[in-house]
Amino acid sequence: MPLSPKESGKLIAELSKHVQINSEGIKELGNKIVQRANQGKVSVHNFSQNGIHPKSWNPNALDWLFVVDTLNFCFWHVDGEVKWKVDNQSGYFALCAAINRAVKEGIDILNPNYYSTITKEQLQHVLRSDTKTKLQLLDERVECLHSSGLSLIENFEGSFRNCVEQAENSAVQLLELIVKNFKCFQDEAIYQGHVVSLYKRAQILVGDVWACFKGKGLGRFDDIDEMTMFPDYRIPQTLLFFNVFEYSDELMNLLRAEMPLKNGSEMEVEIRGCSIHAVTLLTEYVKQRVKPDRKVNAILLDHFLWDYRRNHSNQINHKNLPFHKTFCIFY
Active-site annotation, residues: 232
Q: Any idea what DSSP says for residue 39?
A: T
Residue 98 makes CB contacts below 8 A (sequence gap 6+) with: 86, 126, 127, 128
Provide the 3-class DSSP secondary structure of residue 89: strand
Provide the 3-class DSSP secondary structure of residue 308: helix
Q: How many CB atoms lie within 10 A of CB 22?
A: 16
Do residues 216 and 205 make contact, with C-beta atoms less than 8 angstroms apart? no
Provide the 3-class DSSP secondary structure of residue 195: strand
Residue closest to 272 by CA, chosen among 328, 210, 199, 178: 199
State the alpha helices, DSSP H only, in 3-57: 5-15, 23-38
82 alpha carbon, distance to own chain's centre: 23
Q: How many CB atoms lie within 10 A of CB 121?
A: 9
